[in-house]
C-alpha cells in the first residue's frame, strides 16, 4: 500500500494538524510500503538551518522513525518549502523527489507533481516562481540571517493571501491548473495517472487526451483539524479522511 499526502502547511500555528500528522506517521502510515509527500509539508521553509524549530524537529524525527520502521519516505518540495535540501532529507530519512516525478509500479504508472507549475494563468505567481527558483536568488536569500529570512517569508505569506483574494475575485480559473498546460503535461508523461496538490481543490478529474482517458487526482489541503491521504492498494486509489 502506498500513501500520498500534500499541503499540510504545518507550523506552530497549527497544533491540531501537527498532532494529527504525528499520529498518522506513528500509526496509519506504518502499514504502508511508501509515503509520498507532494509538497507544502510546512507552512514555509527558509533553509535547512531551521531544523531546530520545535515543529520542524518533531516532524523530522517522526518521519525518520517511520523510515527506520521500513517505510520508504519520499518528499517533494512545494511552493512553500522549495528550499528544503539534503540536510532536511538526511535528518528525516527521506528521499527528495524532483517535480515532476514518474512513479512506476508493477501494476500502474503515476506522475506526481506539486501542481503549482501548471497554474500558468497566474502570471504574477509564475514570475515570482521563476525568480525565487533561480540558484542566484536562493544563494543570496540563504546568506541572510535566519530571523531576516523568517521576516521575508512572513511578508510573502501575507502578500500571497491578499493576492489570492484579489485573484479569485478577478477570475476563478487563475487559481487552478491551466487545461491546455495540463493536457500537454499528461501527454508528455505517457498519459499516466496524475496526482497533485497545491490548488486546495480536491477532486478526481477525467481528462480525455488524444482520445485516451487519464485520471487526475487532486489532493486536499489539511485544514480545520482534518487531513486527507490518498491510498493506492495495488489496484485502485481511494481517499481517506484523517481526523
Ligand atoms: O502558498 P499559497 O497557497 O498561499 O499561494 C501560492 C502562491 N504564493 C506563494 C508564496 C508563498 O505562499 C510564500 C512562500 C514562502 C517561502 C519562504 C521561503 C523563501 C522565500 C525566498 C526565496 C528565495 O507561492 C500564490 C498563488 C497561489 O499559490 C495559487 O497558485 O497565487 O502566488 C503569489 O502569492 C504570488 C504573488 O501574487 C506575487 C508575489 C510577488 C512577491 C514580490 C516580493 C514581495 C516582497 C515581500 C518580501 C519582503
Ligand atoms: Mn502549494
Q: Are 131 and 137 in contact (CB under 8 A)?
A: yes
Residues 6 or more apart in contact with residue 184 via CB below 8 angstroms: none
Is residue 85 within a helix (H) or strand (E), and if so which, with residue range? none
Q: Are 4 and 229 in contact (CB under 8 A)?
A: yes
> Among all chains, which residue has been given the C-alpha cell 506522475?
111
Nearest atom in ligand 1 to 153's CA:
17
Nearest atom in ligand 1 to 40's CA:
1
2-242: CATH topology is Purple Acid Phosphatase; chain A, domain 2 (3.60.21)
Q: Are 218 and 38 in contact (CB under 8 A)?
A: no
d(CA 97, ligand 2 centre) in Å: 15
Question: Would you say the pTM of this structure is higher than 0.95?
Answer: yes
Comparing CA positions, the residue from 173, 215, 165 lying closest to residue 191 is: 215
Nearest atom in ligand 1 to 81's CA:
16
Residue spans of the domains in the chain: they are 2-242
d(CA 159, ligand 1 centre) in Å: 7
d(CA 33, ligand 1 centre) in Å: 34
Task: Point out which residues pair with 97 in neighbouring strands.
Answer: 76
Q: Are 92 and 67 in contact (CB under 8 A)?
A: yes
Residues 6 or more apart in contact with residue 96 via CB below 8 angstroms: 75, 76, 77, 84, 85, 86, 88, 89
Q: One digit per residue, pLDDT tens: the chain, 243 residues?
A: 999 999 999 999 999 999 999 999 999 999 999 999 999 999 999 999 999 999 999 999 999 999 999 999 999 999 999 999 999 999 999 999 999 999 999 999 999 999 999 999 999 999 999 999 999 999 999 999 999 999 999 999 999 999 999 998 898 899 999 999 999 999 999 999 999 999 999 999 999 999 999 999 999 999 999 999 999 999 999 999 999
Q: Which three cell numbers stand for residue 49?
A: 538551518
Task: Point out which residues pair with 2 in neighbouring strands.
Answer: 34, 232
Amino acid at each position: 500500500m502506498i500513501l500520498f499526502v500534500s499541503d499540510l502547511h504545518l507550523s506552530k500555528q497549527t497544533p491540531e494538524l501537527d498532532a494529527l500528522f504525528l499520529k498518522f506517521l506513528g500509526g496509519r502510515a506504518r502499514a504502508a510500503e511508501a509515503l509520498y509527500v507532494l509538497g507544502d509539508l510546512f507552512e514555509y521553509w527558509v533553509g535547512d538551518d531551521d531544523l531546530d524549530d520545535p515543529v520542524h524537529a518533531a516532524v523530522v524525527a517522526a518521519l525518520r522513525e517511520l523510515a527506520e520502521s521500513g517505510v520508504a519516505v519520499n518528499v517533494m518540495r512545494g511552493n512553500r518549502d522549495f528550499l528544503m535540501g539534503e540536510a532536511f532529507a538526511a535528518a528525516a530519512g527521506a528521499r527528495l523527489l524532483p517535480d515532476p516525478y514518474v512513479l512506476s509500479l508493477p501494476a500502474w504508472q503515476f506522475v506526481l507533481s506539486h501542481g503549482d507549475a501548471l497554474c500558468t494563468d497566474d502570471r504574477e505567481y509564475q514570475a515570482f516562481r521563476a525568480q525565487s527558483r533561480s540558484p542566484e536568488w536562493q544563494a543570496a536569500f540563504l546568506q541572510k540571517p535566519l530571523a531576516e529570512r523568517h521576516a521575508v517569508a512572513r511578508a510573502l505569506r501575507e502578500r500571497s493571501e491578499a493576492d489570492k483574494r484579489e485573484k479569485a475575485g478577478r477570475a476563478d480559473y487563475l487559481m487552478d491548473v491551466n487545461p491546455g498546460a495540463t493536457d500537454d503535461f499528461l501527454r508528455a508523461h505517457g498519459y499516466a495517472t496524475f496526482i497533485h496538490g497545491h490548488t486546495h481543490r480536491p477532486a478526481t478529474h477525467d481528462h480525455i487526451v488524444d482520445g485516451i482517458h487519464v485520471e487526475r487526482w487532486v489532493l486536499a489541503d489539511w485544514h480545520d483539524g482534518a487531513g486527507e491521504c490518498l491510498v493506492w492498494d495495488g489496484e485502485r486509489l481511494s481517499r481517506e479522511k484523517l481526523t
